[in-house]
Amino acid sequence: MTTEVRKLTPKRLEFCRQYLKDLNATAAARRAGYAVKNADVEGPRLLGFAGVQREIARLRLELQSRTQVSPEKIVRELALIAFSDIGDVIRFVDGAAHLDFSDLPPEFTKSVSQITVETFTEGRGDRATDIRQVKLKMNDKRAALVDLAKIMGMMREQVDVNITSDHDAADFEDVSDDDLRAFIERRREGVAAVSQDVEVVARELPDDAREEVSDVVPDQ
């Protein structure tokens, strides 16, 4: 366990573990034992601590190593959904659409979220005919395309980042402009150190796991 992790309280360590379950800071704070009435404030506040961010980054790398989930695998799966075409399984006979699974591409099943088969009888007596109706529901192509575009940097999201400071506004009333600029620069350097710590964590992983997580660590 690193020195930085040891500095975190057990409650904050638990928050980090809970946060990775659904990336919901408020829910993670509640599950970690923080007061329910303050969780919506406490969760986002905890994310502002550099130590918490470093521990979350470390846990993410460990999780990727254990599960062998890489950014490339995620992109491939999203691409299968985003560029799937229901026309691959539809055949038109006498103007009516029919599903034909006889020549179904193996990867097509990954783009399907649900298949429903309904059987009913049409007509009466000797004219009764058993009808089987198959309904196919595809995964959300638009959502997959949006996720891919975000990963590839084709879309920008507005992200509000709040880094918690130990200083109040009153602490800077008598500070000169030069000193204030120097203070801001030191804070920026502290934020940049988070990404450097992620690289250090990656180097501490077993050799066979480094390649799997290399794309997660930003180039310095």
pLDDT at 199 (0 to 100): 54
HSE-CB of 175 using CA atoms within 13 angstroms: 15
> CB 54: neighbour CB atoms within 10 A?
24
127-173 pLDDT, tens digit each: 888 887 778 788 888 888 888 888 777 766 554 545 455 555 555 56
Q: Are residues 62 and 101 in the same domain?
A: no
**Same structural domain, 53 and 110:** no
To the question of pTM greater than 0.75 for the whole model, the response is no
Q: What pLDDT is stored for residue 219 in this prediction?
A: 45
In a domain? residue 123 = yes
Are both 18 and 43 inside the same structural domain? yes
CA 52 – CA 45 distance, rounded (Å): 10
C-alpha to C-alpha distance for 43 and 50, rounded to whole angstroms: 14
Answer yes or no: is 76 within a domain.
no
CA distances from 149 to 26, 76, 108, 158, 179 (A): 27, 13, 21, 15, 42
Quick check: is 147 in a domain?
Answer: no
Residue 34 falls inside a structural domain: yes
Intervals of the chain under pLDDT 70: 1-6, 155-177, 179-180, 183-184, 186-220
Residues 16, 64: one domain? yes
DSSP label at residue 8: S
- If asked whether residues 116 and 11 sit together in one domain, one would say no
Residue 150 lies in a domain: no
pLDDT for 175: 62
Could you tell me if residue 14 is inside a domain?
A: yes
- Number of separate domains in the chain: 2
Q: Is residue 149 part of a domain?
A: no
- Give the phi and the psi of residue 165 in degrees, each rounded to 5: -110, 150
Host domain of residue 113: 85-138
